[in-house]
Structure 1
Amino acid sequence: MKKITDERLVLQNLNNIRIAYFIQTIGILGILGYDLATKGLDGMRENPLWFVFMITTVISVYLSMSITADHENNKNKPQRSLNISLIVLFLISTVIGFFVTRTDGFKIIDGVIMGGILFICGLIPIIYIYYLRKKRLDENNEE
């Protein structure tokens, strides 16, 4: 099989993949919506399609982050953006952890655990986007 070198055909192929992904996502959401209506939230989350949908969504978001980082045209230093993102993430995690402790039936340890989980889950994409911005800045400085 020969590799496609015509840019128009490559673009058309990528558009076809995008359309197929969109239709597949609509189908998965339809099946999960049916499970939600008939079996409830727990029944929907027991469906293996839930796991496939979540993994696909996370991978799609990370791939979009790399394109977004390459498309940005701001001249801000990546370190400054990292610091601001970390401060905002810490504040959000702290506030949510505080509100969890104020909820009936939850203790301080529950708030710390929830805030910690949110902080770690937010830290991963923040560090990834920092890496992409730093790499792009280094590439631009070499040119």
Structure 2
Amino acid sequence: MYKRLDHFIIYDVITLGFTEATKSPLWILFIITVAVFNFMNIGVSIDIYDDTKKPKKPFPYYQTVIIIAFIGIIAIGLIQLFYSGKLSDAIIVGSVIFICFLVPFTYAYYLRKKRSEQLDKC
């Protein structure tokens, strides 16, 4: 009988616990699948959004990077304030947050810019 991937993961979480379930290769496959699905969904969302409204010129990329860096710095400050751990731990977490925000926003910016250039040619 065919079972879905998430059923195996749910079974592992219930029987072995969440910590043991995350050590499974199925967990890694599930996370990668969700990440790829979300990046594909970004492209669809941008295409639908651009078709429903008059397309705007994308704002400068450096503004996106500054906003994301600000979010990372706020995360570093909050971690240092509330968890009073080492500064290096807070910087690592802030850097990960920065990268996790930067990658999808960069991809969305690229898609919007490409779409804008295609509409300008027509």
Query: Normalised by the shorter chain, which TM-score bucket?
Result: 0.7 to 0.9
Point out which structure has higher relative CO (alpha carbons under 8 A, 6+ apart): 2
Runs (5+) with no aligned partner, structure 2? none
Distance 1:106 1:41 in 2: 25
* 1:97 paired to 2:76: yes
Tell me how far 1:104 sits from its aligned partner: 4.0
Tell me how far 1:40 sits from its aligned partner: 1.6
* 1:79 paired to 2:56: no
Deviations 1:6-48 (A, max 9, x none): xxxxxxxxxxxxxxxxx97xx2222212211221222111111
Secondary structure of the 2:17 match is helix
- TM-score (ref. length: structure 2): 0.82
Sort the Cα spacing of 1:105 and 1:32 in 2 relative to 1 into closer, same or farther, 3 A: farther
Q: Hey, what does 2:19 align to over in structure 1? A: 42
Number of residue-to-residue matches in the alignment: 118
Partner of residue 31 from structure 2, selected from 50, 54, 57: 54
Partner of residue 89 from structure 2, selected from 93, 99, 110: 110
Sort the Cα spacing of 1:105 and 1:133 in 2 relative to 1 into closer, same or farther, 3 A: same
Deviations 1:111-132 (A, max 9, x none): 1111011101211111111000
Tell me how far 1:103 sits from its aligned partner: 4.0
* Percentage identity across paired residues of the two chains: 27
What is the RMSD of the two structures over their aligned residues, measured on CA atoms? 2.2
Tell me how far 1:77 sits from its aligned partner: 1.9
Q: Hey, what does 1:68 align to over in structure 2? A: 45
Matches within 5 A, 1:5-16: none
Runs (5+) with no aligned partner, structure 1? 1-22
Distance 1:62 1:71 in 2: 15
